[in-house]
Amino acid sequence: MPSGSAPGKVILYGEHAVVFGEPAAAVAVDLRAEVYARPHPEWRADGATLDDPKYAYVKAAVERGWRGPPQWLEIRSRLPLGAGMGSSAAVTVATLTALQGMSGTFSRERVALEAFEVELAVQGRASPIDTSAATAGRGVLVLRQREEGFLWEVRRGETAWQVHAVDLPKFQLVVGTTGIAAPTGPIVAGVRERVEKDPRARAAVERIGQITLEGVAALRRSDLVTAGVLMDQNHALLNELRVGGPMLESLVKAARKHAYGAKLTGAGVGGSMIALTDVPEEAVTAIEEAGGRAFTVSVDREGAKVGP
């Protein structure tokens, strides 16, 4: 059966600020979404119509990425929903990959650009970080300018994001999920309002952009101490943007005892946090004792893939 698959992601530095064009860095993680397609008289996703709000991203992907006859889509995802791990982006990218694979038009750049448009249509406002990480796999760095490793440019009005592949030396990441599902759209809208009204929020966004560049440089030279301190600082600035939450705070504090640094990852409020550590078992235990669910993640090396 034709299929497409794509990984989830965690953002290392730069969430929210990237929506305003600031740099951000993410790694794709080895939890994937898979979409299988077979012809059917009417469109279905796991048996439901595409008008079911649960399949808003799938519907938008079909509308942008397919001119052929209707299909029955089966969606399998190992990514927790609303957990800041890019589940919507992975499903969107996997759907577009399956559809482009069937029409013989698959290209990573085309998938990344269409997936960004899908997120934008469903969420109202977005950056390309989640969709590009799900498409490219490995490490992804979004910058204002083009540098070595340039993959593609994503544009929206005045904002242009230059998406790069970045190969980082090995490091260990633990993810802690709060279990609180937090939809990205309204959180991103809240940050926009704050940034438009409050110069301190605007300054926080700019500082997060600098932290991303410093953090990626530290990871590149395997300076985990500095990379961890910068994660802590990034987290504090996200709290200033008011996208933290009490549960995230407990998990971050618990993890820091066994980590170089820790921060919320993704849209925040609920969702997940990450810890940079070389004692992952201790960090996992600490996060679970604080009430979260925790696991180590490895970097996905494949990105979007067309199935047989």
Q: What distances in angstroms separate CA 60 from CA 85, 118, 174, 196, 200, one per listed residue?
A: 20, 6, 32, 29, 36
Interaction between residue 112 and ligand MEV (CB under 6 A): no
Choose the binding region for ligand MEV from 9-17, 98-106, 201-209, 252-260 (rule: CB under 6 A): 9-17
Interaction between residue 266 and ligand MEV (CB under 6 A): yes
User: Any catalytic annotation for residue 130?
Assistant: yes
Choose the binding region for ligand MEV from 127-135, 195-203, 216-224, 274-282 (rule: CB under 6 A): 127-135
Q: Please state at what angle helix 184-197 crosses helix 108-123, rounded to 10 degrees.
A: 80
Q: What is the DSSP string of 236-297?
A: HHHHHTT---HHHHHHHHHHHTTSSEEEEESS-SSSEEEEEES-HHHHHHHHHHTT-EEEEE
Interaction between residue 16 and ligand MEV (CB under 6 A): yes
Kindly name the residue from 46, 130, 167, 300 that is annotated as catalytic.
130
Positive or negative, the CA dihedral 7, 8, 13, 16 is positive
Interaction between residue 127 and ligand MEV (CB under 6 A): yes
Interaction between residue 130 and ligand MEV (CB under 6 A): yes
Residues 180-199 that bind ligand MEV (CB under 6 A): 184, 188
CA distance 237 to 244: 10
> Which phi and psi angles does 118 have, rounded to 5°?
-65, -50
Nearer to ligand MEV, 19 or 33 (CB): 19
Interaction between residue 18 and ligand MEV (CB under 6 A): yes
The residues binding ligand MEV (CB under 6 A) are: 11, 15-16, 18-19, 84, 126-127, 129-130, 184, 188, 266-267
Catalytic amino acids? 130
